[in-house]
Structure 1
Amino acid sequence: MKKISVIDYGMSNLHSVLKSFQKVIDKKYSLSIAKTIKDLEDASIIILPGQGAANSCMDRLNSKFPSLDKFIINRPFFGICLGFQILFNESSEDGGVKCFSIIDGTVTDFKNTTNRKLKIPHMGWNIVNQNHSHPIWKNISNKSFFYFVHSYYAQATKLSDELSTTDYGINFTSSVIKDNIFACQYHPEKSSSNGLQLLSNFITYSEGI
């Protein structure tokens, strides 16, 4: 049986993520909660959800999950929201936070955009523009709606990493793909049928990695 490990570092919507994956996996997979780095040693797939501040997130991960980046680049990995943002080089949150530097790019406050009328956080349904075709998008139409909740946005440096973009006063990176890694700013666990389809597609995609 293959093990899907969902990282619990005390800053994520763990219950909703687990419940959503339970709806799409079959009997050859088991779901577990990882509370330390040792819990990831036999994981076939790693899921990192996240909410809150980047600084606190990195501090907790570095404490409870040292060398997590080595697991991220060597196992099928799915990052959600803050679990997406910390894959980049750095975030401007809390005066500047060094992140994992797995995806080239930066994370910036929406307040720094020229559109002063933006409501922050960016909260609710928005369009996800698929930049190029990929198995992740199977049975998901281009410009489908997904659910967002965030105050900081990411900009990937390489177009090859940027799987989708979304517009909210600025066109930002809303999901990335790089080898075994998929991550998204939006919340698939809150995105109804499109979200469940995305999770199912990732599981299928991971089997070929």
Structure 2
Amino acid sequence: MSEISVLDYGAGNVSSVIRMIERAGGRARRIYSPAEVAEATKLIIPGVGAFDYGMSQLELRGLLPALTTAALENAVPVLGICLGMQLMCRTSQEGKMPGLGWIDAHVLRFSFTNGGSLRVPHMGWNTIQVPRENQLLATDSGEQRFYFVHSYYVACNDPADPIAITDYGGKFVAAFQRKNLFGVQFHPEKSHRFGMELLSNFLEFPHA
């Protein structure tokens, strides 16, 4: 298995992600700089907190050009987790700054029109459905459960991008894949064996 670089940009629980990668049998390296991003052969962008804060931290640290080169030009496998997934999209209702724009998707706030008692943020364990073959999640492994904490969700414009769907007051995208780019709304580092399996699959995904 290859090494995964985990980007520390001041907006993610990097240590927990590294520990889960190691439990999955991989090697993880905490990185901070554009030069380290340029050296990465696999990359995770974790994230918790607000959209504009995450984007501003990437910009402040000079990471935006290096990230886009790695993801779009060098086809480095990239996995965005929670806020990291949302930053890969075009825009978010949570903020005013543009996202990385790698995925044709927008981030929307949960809004329940049926007058139900569902709470925001969506917090806790939820099952997913996997509608198509992909390199991250098995389609035939029975029930898969992951841990979610979020008030906003990704809406993909291309129906080919979602690889997992979750229902919370309506169906939304729990994970997407476009070529070498992956995003998951849940936290694999908090999802026990399901998260470990997902990270193991990401470790095995080939770098072009």
State whether TM-score is above 0.5.
yes
Q: Is the 8 A contact 1:6 1:34 kept in 2?
A: yes
1:160 counterpart letter in structure 2: A
* Equivalent residue, structure 1, for 2:68: 69
Deviations 1:48-86 (Å, cap 9, x if unpaired)?
A: 100000000000011211312222222111110000011
* Equivalent residue, structure 2, for 1:91: 92
Q: Is the 8 A contact 1:140 1:194 kept in 2?
A: no
**Secondary structure of 1:114's partner?**
coil
* Equivalent residue, structure 2, for 1:42: 39
Output the TM-score relative to the length of structure 2: 0.91
1:139, 1:129 → 2: CA distance?
8
Q: Is the 8 A contact 2:130 2:138 kept in 1?
A: no
Deviation, 1:126, is 0.5
Q: Is the 8 A contact 2:130 2:139 kept in 1?
A: no
Q: Structure 2 stretches of 5 or more lacking a match?
A: none
Deviation, 1:208, is 5.7
Deviation, 1:143, is 4.1
1:49, 1:127 → 2: CA distance?
21
Deviation, 1:141, is 2.4
Q: What is the aligned-residue RMSD (CA, Å)? A: 1.8
Q: Is the 8 A contact 1:49 1:82 kept in 2?
A: yes
Q: Structure 1 stretches of 5 or more lacking a match?
A: none
Matched, 1:163 2:160: no
Output the TM-score relative to the length of structure 1: 0.90
* Equivalent residue, structure 2, for 1:174: 174
Instruction: Quickly say closer, same or farther: Cα 1:115–1:97, change in 2 above 3 A.
Output: farther
1:114 counterpart letter in structure 2: T
1:87, 1:115 → 2: CA distance?
30
* Equivalent residue, structure 2, for 1:18: 18
1:72, 1:51 → 2: CA distance?
21
Aligned length: 203
